[in-house]
Structure 1
Amino acid sequence: MSVTEPPTAVLLPGTGSDEVFVRSVFAGPLAAVGVALRTPRPRPGKDLVKAHLAALDATEGPVLVGGISLGAHLGALWAAANPDRCAGLLLALPAWTGDSAGAPAALAARHSAADVRSRGLEAALSTAVTGVAPWLAAELTRAWRGYGPALADSLEAAADHPGPAQADLTSLTVPAGVASCTDDPIHPIETAQAWAEALPRAHLGTTSLSAMSTDVEALGRATVLAWLRARFER
């Protein structure tokens, strides 16, 4: 594919998140560089991960893949299994490499799932949004309610799924943009740095949750700019 013909991007949401948030983060930055965006809607339940990967399998032609958190994990795993179908990677907020044991994001998802099962969705949601920034509270409220009774199963399916191993990342020779929020303890910047170092053609971009409180596209721009640097690097 010519560097003058940007591929379509197919991006997946994070754990307990949805396609609405992915689009709000990435649509503007990708449109600015002429890249069309598809954001498959999650199919809640125990087969959440399987459904996400099936959505990638259904794509035609080499595409940019990735997403946010879990979406980044699944995009990288899919690309490693389908190298001839991947034109590049947009990997925002990777949460762990390989096994999820001990990863803050996985622990948080399992805790939330247990709370939903114990007290119900609305009570668990009320706790989850207490003390968080208004924009994040609004995102969680819409997305969690959208998952409905399948929320706990979805959270557990995401938390239990391994991320890409080091060998998966080193096998990916396409341009990759990795991005992290420097003030996000759930998605440690050290993980994003490790991914950027393992990927053969990657750049790391950074922003902050504080910046996203007034400009949610900050995360998308950081990821897309990192991908562009990797893409045009010689």
Structure 2
Amino acid sequence: MTSAIRIPAAVLLPGTGSDEVFVRSVFGGPLAALGVPLITPAPVAGAGLAEAFLAELDGLADRYGTVLVGGISFGAHLAAEWAVANPGRCGGLLAALPAWNGESGSAPAALAASVTADLVADVGVEGALAAAVAGSPGWLGEELGRAWRRHGSGLEAGLRVAAGRSAPTLQELRGVGVPAGVGGCADEPVHPAGVARGWAGALPRGVYGETSLEVVGRDREALGRVTVLAFLRGLRG
């Protein structure tokens, strides 16, 4: 099928308040099946979250020459931002659950991050975690428990960074000519599938793949598979 020689090493970033453990659970299997090396930088907690990830992408591109970049939610935003700024070093894009394009404005994910940051400021990480877990599926509660505690005192600042940072505009995405897979969940209101479809439509070689949050709850790799399969279709297009 597609050989690893045609696909550079993948560098994938986690979403806000998440971590590299979740990224690997989503993308590790699908990329391993293609023989693609996967690099998952750990988040740097606090206000430097975004700039640290962008610097990590710069360093890895210096090392490898060309990298396949991507991520989940805010991680996808940062990867796309980097792809816009580095057309000669980006070999492809894997964007799962992008939450907005352009200014964050009143996007559900931005509002959720701001509300959560306020809650952390008021009751601390453990108090905010208790509130979040109470209304979440069991698997998501486990993910939040691990990742939020790892972010610790930096969680609030990281959430505010994500909530206020612009994603690439659709016009900017139209200038990213590399193969791109964009994955969405049809039943995920915080990361609307319409945003992911908009990204895929704007990217010249973008292809959209879809699953559901219900399926991801049983099989984390479902999100990775639809995103990687969409990328492969863009690669051949």
Identify the TM-score tier after normalising by the shorter chain.
Answer: over 0.9
Deviation, 1:4, is 4.4
**Alignment match of 2:168 (pick from 150, 164, 167):** 164
What's 1:26 paired with?
27
Is residue 70 of structure 2 the alignment partner of residue 66 of structure 1? yes
How far does the alpha carbon of each residue in 1:66-94 deviate from its partner, in whole angstroms, 9 at most, with x for none? Answer: 10001111111101100000000000000
Deviation, 1:3, is 8.1
Structure 1 residues 33-182: aligned runs within 5 Å: 33-59=34-60, 60-182=64-186
Question: In 2, distance between residues paired with 1:42 and 1:166?
Answer: 26
Question: In 2, distance between residues paired with 1:231 and 1:225?
Answer: 10
RMSD, aligned CA: 1.1
Is residue 185 of structure 2 the alignment partner of residue 186 of structure 1? no
Deviation, 1:47, is 1.0
| Runs of 4+ with deviation above 4 angstroms | none
Question: In 2, distance between residues paired with 1:87 and 1:105?
Answer: 28
Local SS of the residue matching 1:25: helix
Question: In 1, distance between residues paired with 2:4 and 2:12?
Answer: 20
Question: In 2, distance between residues paired with 1:99 and 1:200?
Answer: 21
Question: In 2, distance between residues paired with 1:158 and 1:67?
Answer: 14
Deviation, 1:62, is 0.8
Superposition TM-score, scaled by structure 2 size: 0.96
- The percent of aligned pairs where both chains have the same amino acid is 57
Question: In 2, distance between residues paired with 1:84 and 1:3?
Answer: 20
Is residue 212 of structure 2 the alignment partner of residue 212 of structure 1? no
Local SS of the residue matching 1:155: helix
Deviation, 1:125, is 0.5
Question: In 2, distance between residues paired with 1:52 and 1:160?
Answer: 16
Question: In 2, distance between residues paired with 1:191 and 1:153?
Answer: 25
What's 1:11 paired with?
12
Q: Number of residue pairs matched?
A: 232
